[in-house]
Amino acid sequence: MAATYSFDVTTGVDLQEVDNAINQAQKEVAQRYDFKGSPAAVEFKRADEKLELVADSDFQMQQLFDVVQSKLIKRGIPVKNLDVGEIKPAGGNTVRREVKLKTALDGETAKKVSAFIKAAKLKKVQASIQGEQVRITSPSKDDLQDAIKALRGEDFGVELQFGNFR
């Protein structure tokens, strides 16, 4: 019987690294002159997997978001996995923005990945959706490498991670 090899396609963010990045961003905001005396704040709601940013104005919100984004990038958090919400007015002459973290492949993205593998016409490579991941199987390791190369070349709106090679 021929052996079949496989790997899983997932996405996610390290919540501890996000926490560290937000702590660094909060320290920088507290030190910066352009944020002195303003209610600018960043809050990480770990249970809801989202960030809440509060600032005085749209301009200050953009500055705050740039600080947060730079700290996330330095910590190795893929910015593609951020679902950035709209700037909304909040009480007390402030604005609020919600940024959700994509910690797993949603059904829509999993279908896109699966359809892409099928459309790539790789020999004997099959994709199956298993919850929050897509399992790619093939009797040839070389074909799996080709599948990874093809997936890396395509944009699915999230940072794909490949693991669980067997």
Instruction: Give the pLDDT confidence score for residue 23 in this predicted structure.
Output: 92
Instruction: Give the pLDDT confidence score for residue 2 in this predicted structure.
Output: 54
Closest listed residue to residue 145, CA positions, set 153, 74, 37, 12: 153
Q: What residue has token string 């199956």? A: 128
Query: pLDDT tens across 150-165, in order?
Result: 888 888 888 888 887 7
Q: Does the structure show a pLDDT above 90 at 13?
A: no
What type of residue is 165?
A: F
The stretch 21-44 carries a mean pLDDT of 88
Q: Identify whether the C-beta of residue 33 lies closer than 8 Å to the C-beta of residue 21.
A: no
Instruction: Give the pLDDT confidence score for residue 66 in this predicted structure.
Output: 92
Instruction: Give the pLDDT confidence score for residue 1 in this predicted structure.
Output: 43
Query: pLDDT tens across 83-134, in order?
Result: 888 888 888 788 999 989 888 888 888 888 888 888 878 778 888 888 888 8
Instruction: Give the pLDDT confidence score for residue 69 in this predicted structure.
Output: 92
Instruction: Give the pLDDT confidence score for residue 24 in this predicted structure.
Output: 92
What CA–CA distance (Å, rounded) separates 60 from 138? 51
Domains contained in the chain, CATH given:
5-12+105-163 (3.30.70.860), 15-101 (3.30.70.990)
* Top-confidence range, 66-75, 109-118, 140-149: 66-75
Query: pLDDT tens across 43-61, in order?
Result: 988 888 899 999 888 889 8
What CA–CA distance (Å, rounded) separates 68 from 99? 11
This prediction has a pTM of 0.80
Instruction: Give the pLDDT confidence score for residue 67 in this predicted structure.
Output: 92
What CA–CA distance (Å, rounded) separates 70 from 40? 17
Q: Which helix (H) or strand (E) holds 54?
A: strand 50-55
